[in-house]
Structure 1
Amino acid sequence: MKLSPKLELAGVSLRDMTEADVPAVEALERRLFPVDAWPLQMFFDELSQPETRRYVVAEVEGQIVAYAGLMCIEPIADVQTIAVVPEFEGKGIGSAILTELIEEARRRRAADVLLEVRADNPRAQQLYLRFGFEQIHVRPRYYRDGTDALIMRLPLTEPHSTEGANA
């Protein structure tokens, strides 16, 4: 997978998630999303559906520092999850992973990419806005703690710049 020279110099590598990665990813999931963490089996279930799913991890010195997943059932792709450990935020890893998911959606001929983001997560919202996502709906009290979810959409029908990947 293509990474920016900046990330390559920082020793970041991006690759497909494997079943061997699931325990480490699930531990990060519990750390990063304590209220809404996916159960371990859910990651195995997602990886068992390669015809409609793609999951990636980012590593630094062999340690997983980010992960993300996409479900694509034409004509819609949906970002299932995306996470970067706080110590590695702001380094372009989230942008690199999101770029890869959008490219995967294009390869799978999706017309749109959808995602949910917490209404109280402005950092993630700004990332998605930089990539051209627009808010199309609000799901009130979507998360277990009562926080709303913002539904965002990126149309893929026209060529889209990935300039957000360089931000």
Structure 2
Amino acid sequence: MEGLVVIDDPTSILRCCNKVYLHENFRRNRISAPKTVIVSTTCRRTLDDLEEQVGYPLVLKIPNGSFSRGVVRVENRSQLKETLRRMLMGSALILAQEYFYTAYDWRIGILNNRPLYASRYYMSEGHWQIYQHDALGTKAGSFTTMASYEVPRSVLNVALKAAKGIGDGLYGIDVKQDGNRTTRAERALMVEYGFALPSECEAIADLEKKVFLHDRLSPRQIRYHLKNDKARFCLAREGGIPVGYGLLLTNRRWARGRIYSLAVVQKWRGRGVGRGLLSLLEHYARQAELHGLSLEVRRDNGDAQALYAICGFALVGEKPGYYSDGESALLMRKDFI
């Protein structure tokens, strides 16, 4: 088509569409990225090297795949050999990468080497990718958007650094974040987010003791909410150990979900864990087609109030003497519509 105004250029487009180029660019510029091996055969030595350097499960990618297509996870050697053989029939090179499940990816939009927008893209429910393609069609996870100033500086920095190796047009850079570092697309999180398991009841109770002096959830209450189908009990884990949790309660009669409790151990405060948990709870609330979220926060807890305000919650009221020690609660709310 002629007469259209564009802000990209052919060279940049080709670079963005070539995962082999991107891998070499990130390696050359020391941008943290997933452990990656580029392969071209299915010989024994190749398979041995992948098992030693990457391990299972691992992800195989064609260089020009997009929207979760041309990306396959394999669990063992037989799957690796057969999938690699099949993919090499359509591509001379395949990228083999380490696999880690994460609840969402950052997408940082960059124009002329400056951040333009930011989004969190969530994995499709029950799946490890944002898009799930099968015989019934395609399902996609939801997303949330925000201004670039709401994004942790470390996330913006790594996105800007990654974009410099491509050009000065409009790009979307995928980034994953943990407590200590940010990494360009699909790197393992030191902190992983997901549902709490019944077997983690004792660990959550220990976390309660570390975080709260008053109004703790008892082990009995924790077990109840872990089994409650109207509750979403989400954990942040470091090395499999809970370092934070968020508890969302819903009811068919409620227009909004209620964040009943949010806790992060001292070591991980101020490092994005609380924000990650809130984002995950909001994701589930939107999936349930709720109109928003509400919560109570201690009047003397300024840090928590600041976190909620940054994440879009507004003060709407106060409950005097709400907590067991007589402290008042501030009522905060975030509306989606």
Do both share a fold (TM > 0.5)? yes
Letter in 1 for 2:287: R
Give the aligned partner of residue 224 of structure 2.
45
Q: 1:59 aligns with which of 237, 247, 251?
A: 237
Separation of aligned partners in 1, 2:238 and 2:288: 28
Is 1:98 the counterpart of 2:278? The answer is: yes
| Alpha-carbon displacement from aligned partner over 1:140-161 (angstroms, at most 9, x marks no partner) | 011111111000000011xxxx
Q: For residue 3 of structure 1, report the CA deviation from its aligned partner.
A: 5.2
Q: For residue 102 of structure 1, report the CA deviation from its aligned partner.
A: 0.7
- After TM superposition, the runs of 4+ consecutive aligned structure 1 residues lying more than 3 A away are none
Give the aligned partner of residue 36 of structure 1.
215
Is 1:13 the counterpart of 2:115? The answer is: no
Separation of aligned partners in 2, 1:125 and 1:135: 9
The total of aligned residue pairs comes to 156
Residues 133-152 of structure 1 mapped to structure 2, 5 A cutoff: 133-152=313-332
Separation of aligned partners in 2, 1:100 and 1:81: 14
Cα contact 1:3–1:96 (8 A) shared by 2 = no
Cα contact 1:3–1:14 (8 A) shared by 2 = no
Cα contact 1:118–1:150 (8 A) shared by 2 = yes
Is 1:78 the counterpart of 2:258? The answer is: yes
Letter in 2 for 1:147: E
Alignment partner of 1:14: what SS? strand
Separation of aligned partners in 1, 2:335 and 2:285: 11
Give the aligned partner of residue 37 of structure 2.
none
Give the aligned partner of residue 165 of structure 1.
none
Q: For residue 111 of structure 1, report the CA deviation from its aligned partner.
A: 0.9
Normalised TM-score (structure 1): 0.88
Letter in 1 for 2:272: G
User: Whose RCO is larger (CA < 8 A, sep 6+)?
Assistant: 1
| Alpha-carbon displacement from aligned partner over 1:12-33 (angstroms, at most 9, x marks no partner) | 1111001111100011112211
Structure 1 residues 136 and 32, CA gap change in structure 2 (3 angstroms):
same
Is 1:2 the counterpart of 2:104? The answer is: yes
Greater shift after overlay, 2-11 or 133-142? Answer: 2-11
- Residue segments in structure 1 that go unaligned for 5+ positions in a row: 158-167
Separation of aligned partners in 1, 2:202 and 2:218: 10
Alignment partner of 2:331: what SS? strand
Give the aligned partner of residue 153 of structure 1.
333
Larger Cα Rg: Structure 1 or Structure 2?
2
Residues 111-150 of structure 1 mapped to structure 2, 5 A cutoff: 111-150=291-330
Letter in 1 for 2:212: F
Separation of aligned partners in 2, 1:17 and 1:81: 14
Separation of aligned partners in 2, 1:54 and 1:107: 12
Q: For residue 129 of structure 1, report the CA deviation from its aligned partner.
A: 0.5
Q: For residue 122 of structure 1, report the CA deviation from its aligned partner.
A: 0.7
Structure 1 residues 142 and 31, CA gap change in structure 2 (3 angstroms):
same
Alignment partner of 1:116: what SS? strand
Separation of aligned partners in 1, 2:330 and 2:105: 28
Q: For residue 96 of structure 1, report the CA deviation from its aligned partner.
A: 0.4
Give the aligned partner of residue 30 of structure 2.
none
Alignment partner of 2:250: what SS? strand
**Percent identity of equivalent pairs:** 28
